Amino acid sequence: MIFNENTWGLFSDEEKNELLSLLHPIDSEITDPDHDPANPPPRIPTPILFQNLNNDAFRTAFAELQDDLATGSYEPSYIKKAEEALQARLGPLADKVDDMKNKDFEEYWGQKQAVFFGDAGGATNITPYELCQRKVFRAGDQFEYKRTFQGGPTVEKVCEFDGAELLEDGATARKKKDACTMTFRYPAGTRKFLVGQHEGDDKDAGEGSSKSTTVGRDITIQVNTLAQLEFAILDEDGTVKASDPVKFKKYPSANAWKVFTVRRKDENLGSTFMMRQNYYEKTMASGGQ
């Protein structure tokens, strides 16, 4: 290679200067630590001076180039196969690859991972009552709903959590499904984002039920569980049942905690499932307090 004195000597001065012009500016000022400052530096550096290159990126790229040459990455047959693979990626394989990427895409790292440290099952005893009481869920939080139905459409809606009404504090109240009445707003129809303004709450939701009112083009609803919120969203959106009325006469069962992601002041807090799990683990670590 050009770092070899014999090879470097095979180049003309013009070729040497052309190669040197390709260096990064930080490497164009190569100095010999043993050079006498009283004498002018050589017009064209010799290979020994390249040992003082300051650019790690250049050194790394040079090593990679050597590996590529050794493995035949610049051989015509290899380049032809690479071009054919690129054309296949952009052509017949495009949908397959893109669908795989979209399926595995994570809006934040670990979103689709189900790896927990500790007792994951114990978190199921944590209710919305406790999460609202301990300010894990806060008024103003954006609950982003997204679910793709097999053989059907993908439904997305951004809901805003307006707050919760809690029954009398106590261990018994925490376990009751209707002990926490949560108020949400979500877009009407098939829209994803809210556009209207909140104009009031309807506080007459019954036990274990949900009640909604339309405010402008947004809908205000009071629910006791996230599952109730999900069903209300799907009913309002309508595209799932419309895609196949027979197949989706009833919505396929799913864990509603896993289809809502919470965003607070542009910070992604993860799914409600993960938030509940994290709260549970912190509670257990502090002795259940």
Assess if residue 228 is contained within a domain: yes
At residue 16 the predicted structure's pLDDT band, cuts being 50, 70 and 90, is: confident
Residue 194 to residues 2, 182, 186, 232, Cα–Cα distance (Å):
63, 18, 6, 15
pLDDT of residue 181: 94
pLDDT of residue 195: 79
- List, for residues 214-263, the tens digit of each pLDDT value: 555 899 999 999 999 999 999 999 999 999 888 888 898 888 999 999 99
| 176 plus 275 within the same structural domain | yes
Has residue 41 got a pLDDT over 90? Answer: no
Main-chain phi, psi angles of 214, to 5 degrees: -90, 125
| 150 plus 257 within the same structural domain | yes
Residue at which a domain ends, from 47, 74, 101: 74
Q: What residue type is assigned to position 188 of the chain?
A: A
pTM value? 0.56
Beta partners for residue 147, in sequence order: 155
| 64 plus 179 within the same structural domain | no
| 174 plus 281 within the same structural domain | yes
User: What residue numbers bound the domain in which 14 lies?
Assistant: 5-74
Assess if residue 127 is contained within a domain: yes
Has residue 36 got a pLDDT over 80? Answer: no
Assess if residue 85 is contained within a domain: no
| 52 plus 131 within the same structural domain | no
C-beta separation of 264 from 140 below 8 A? yes
| CA 240 remoteness from chain centre | 25
| 140 plus 271 within the same structural domain | yes
Task: With both helix axes pointing from N to C terminus, report the angle between 76-90 and 94-104 in degrees, rounded to the nearest 10.
Answer: 70
- List, for residues 97-127, the tens digit of each pLDDT value: 788 777 777 766 666 655 444 445 788 889 9
Has residue 192 got a pLDDT over 50? Answer: yes
Length of the chain: 289
- Reading the block at residue 188, the tokens are 């009407």
| 138 plus 210 within the same structural domain | yes
Assess if residue 92 is contained within a domain: no
| 163 plus 29 within the same structural domain | no
Assess if residue 90 is contained within a domain: no
What rounded mean pLDDT belongs to the chain?
79
Q: Which residues are CB-contacts of 204 (< 8 A; sequence separation ≥ 6)?
A: 211
pLDDT of residue 284: 85
Assess if residue 265 is contained within a domain: yes
The total of structural domains in the chain comes to 2
| 141 plus 65 within the same structural domain | no
- Reading the block at residue 233, the tokens are 């969203």
| 161 plus 67 within the same structural domain | no
Residue at which a domain ends, from 74, 108, 131: 74
Assess if residue 104 is contained within a domain: no
Has residue 198 got a pLDDT over 50? Answer: no
Assess if residue 198 is contained within a domain: yes
Q: Which of 6-15, 35-44, 155-164, 280-289 has the lowest mean pLDDT?
A: 35-44
For 167-279, list the strands marked E by DSSP.
Answer: 180-187, 211-215, 218-223, 260-264, 267-271
